Amino acid sequence: MRELRLWGTGLSSIASMENRGWFTYFMQKQRQRKQLVVQPRMGFGTLKQMRRGLLAVQMSHATVAGTITLDSYTRVNNYEMAWQALAEGHELNGFPLVTHGPDQTRKMLSDVASKEFPIQVRHGSALPLDIFKAILLAGLDATEGGPVSYCLPYSRIPIWQAMEEWKACCQLFASELSWGKVNHIESFGGCMLGQLCPPSLLIAISLLECLFLRFHGLRSLSLSYAQQTNLEQDKEAVMVLRHLAERYLPNVDWHIVIYTYMGVYPRSFAGATALLRESVKLAVDTGSERLIVKTPVEASRIPTIEENVTALEMAAESARAFSTTRSAIAQSQWHASDTGVYTEAERLIEAVLELNSDPGEALVQAFAKGLLDIPYCLHPDNRNLARSFIDQNGWLRWADPGYMPILDAGSLRRSIPKSIKAQQLIEMLTYNERRFDDPGSRLEVQTMYELNGSHA
């Protein structure tokens, strides 16, 4: 394998860099302004194209953070294949950060990254230590993922091995604090498998991963939640997530990031646009600080730079149009419409924390015992006994929680199926695609926006 120039640079050299935590500073500033930050999921293989994409995002008419999404080879630590693809002129589906090396990446980011335009690296790797080193050596300060959320969906390595790697990554990021640099990690726990994971489990994993990150020294965190299949249920879930974060993460700088739906996407432009706007409404109504935006072409291909910018500006325009007065009211009254999400999430979190004082060890044990169980996840360390279903109102519920301690926690379970058949699973996977591509459904969504004081 090609010897990478990355390892020729001492990590201590980054102590002299100007960046002292641009991402954290930026998010604190926008939170004080109550300004929703929108962010793309964008990455390109070449230095020139990646720089052009970042500059286009920076110049967009929106309050934005930049993104460098890494390629598939880098995610699985196959740097030689990434290098070969670049050498042969093949197009990659992301930026090969480790292969390009810190010198070239810093040059690419010159006059682009700043405290007014911070950049987050998004990677998807279960074993990301090389990536974390590359992030620091490139002068960047923010990434995302976690030892559960980047292990179970994307790899077959044992959870314990991912825990050990992420422990080293956290210690590397946390060591920067002694040099006056605050690094940020966003848990991907609220996005498990993209869909069909009930809200209480998304909340629990996002919170537990943040407890793991804090245990190993991180003090700037964000908790994720991916839009699901019912706006009202999602609102309740995000409010519960915020409430539990206030309880379990004292003395930590944190915020909440919403993901536009990550499952099977609508194929029509109108349907995809309506789904995006619903995610914006979710973010605004829950007072969430950041939104990861998807484009209307997600169902068919990788979006262009221009399509990414258009989606960001569309989301920002929708956020301005939606009323924010409902947000504070909703947050103060979330318990009035509690359907069991809070109780389920709390039971899961407490059951895991009772296993071990080390959150990482507790998470490994929890999956071994089935106290955490991701529906339809085929990773060897996941029991895969739990099953979920979408009810007639679009609410995502438990059909079978397996060994998870949440029985009888919900008050609105009705008509729970005894088993999930293949055709039912396909119908659930395509639920939002069909809901938003159907003209009648889109009309209902538009009417809902208008009733809430917006014509976005």
pLDDT tens by residue, 160-169 = 999 999 999 9
Has residue 126 got a pLDDT over 60? Answer: yes
Q: Which residue has the tokens 């245990």?
A: 215
Q: Which residue has the tokens 């519920």?
A: 397
Length reported for the chain:
456
Beta-sheet pairing, 387-390 with 396-400: antiparallel
DSSP conformation letters of 87-106:
HTTPPPSSB-HHHHHHHHHH
CA separation for the pair 407, 206 (Å, rounded): 21
CA separation for the pair 259, 266 (Å, rounded): 16
Q: Which residue has better confidence, 318 or 9?
A: 318
Whether residue 352 contacts residue 401, with contact meaning beta carbons closer than 8 Å, is answered with: no
What's the pTM? 0.90
Render pLDDT for 23-69 as a digit per residue (tens, 0 to 9): 999 999 999 999 999 999 999 999 999 999 999 999 999 999 999 99
State the virtual CA torsion across 433, 436, 440, 442 in degrees, nearest 10: -170
Share of the chain above pLDDT 70, in %: 85
Instruction: For residues 368-376, give the mean pLDDT.
Output: 97
CA separation for the pair 128, 162 (Å, rounded): 9
Token digits of residue 454: 């917006």
